[in-house]
Amino acid sequence: MNVPVIAIDGPSGSGKGTLARLLAARLGWHLLDSGALYRLTALAALRRGVALDDAPTLARVAAELDVHFESDGSREGRILLDGVEVGAELRTETTGNAASCVASVPQVREALFERQRRFAVAPGLVADGRDMGTVVFPDAALKVYLDASAQVRAERRYKQLKEKGIGANLADLVAEIRARDERDMNRSVAPLRPAEDALMLDSSTIGIDAVLDQVMVWMRERLGEARH
Ligand code: DC
């Protein structure tokens, strides 16, 4: 099996989710939103009353996760957990923080490893996460590490929340983002860091269109004009 994979890693708010979705749509490839798997594991655990530090039970929840991604795991498509649609609950701060705890449990990461690998199906996969290039798809044809300053990421989050009619404090958001980065970058397993062969991109001062254009250039260089 030699399915081409583009691994996109980086901190939350860097725009990697949007980039991955646009890239997958442009190429007609599959999409893996690996953060959603950690969020779903956290949600399933919370619903079952499993403590977020009960590693063996969390690993079992992750291994037995009954999840179905409609329209290929895209953030736009419906996601079913135990046959029931998961709505906005998946993207709340509560679920995100629980996901960050669950994601620091090595047995959970192990349990989700094969499930993530199975997304690599022809004609290709765009994989979005924190350890796509370092752990899950070390053989990826192209690895991109998309970053942005904590201030810019907090401002984006602030705008998103405001659009949803949710009030927030910018300084608090900057502090929360820094705390989340700290946890994701310093955990003992699969910490957030660029793969050695990742191409670095900073979206602090450029828009998503420019980010997408740059990645398409790299993509053509790596995979050749024949494909796209
Ligand atoms: O990208 P996100 O906010 O949906 O991710 C939710 C949490 O899952 C985040 O705290 C980091 C973690 N995560 C991870 O550890 N590894 C991944 N490949 C994806 C997400």
Gap between the Cα atoms of 176 and 41, Å rounded: 22
Asked if residue 182 belongs to a domain, the reply is yes
Asked if residue 227 belongs to a domain, the reply is no
**DSSP reduced 3-state for 136:** helix
Mutate to test the pocket of ligand 1, among 8, 12, 38 (most ligand atoms within 8 A of CB): 38
Residue count (the chain): 228
- pLDDT per residue over 163-212, tens digit each? 888 888 999 999 989 988 888 888 888 889 999 999 999 999 999 999 99
Asked if residue 225 belongs to a domain, the reply is no
Mutate to test the pocket of ligand 1, among 130, 181, 184 (most ligand atoms within 8 A of CB): 130
Full residue range of the structural domain in which residue 107 is found: 5-219
Asked if residue 10 belongs to a domain, the reply is yes
Q: With beta carbons less than 8 A apart as the criterion, state whether 133 and 218 touch.
A: no
Pocket of ligand 1 (CB under 6 A): 12, 34-35, 38-39, 96, 99-100, 103, 129-131, 184
Gap between the Cα atoms of 136 and 58, Å rounded: 20
- Give me the sign of the Cα torsion angle 157, 174, 204, 4: negative
Gap between the Cα atoms of 82 and 112, Å rounded: 17
Asked if residue 226 belongs to a domain, the reply is no
| pLDDT means over runs of 10, the chain (228 residues) | 92 92 94 96 97 97 94 68 93 88 94 96 96 97 96 93 88 91 87 94 95 96 68
Residue 1 pLDDT? 58
Q: Count the domains in the chain.
A: 1
Asked if residue 224 belongs to a domain, the reply is no
CATH of the domain at 74: 3.40.50.300
Q: With beta carbons less than 8 A apart as the criterion, state whether 141 and 222 touch.
A: yes
* Entry pTM: 0.92
Distance 135 CA to ligand 1 centre (A): 14
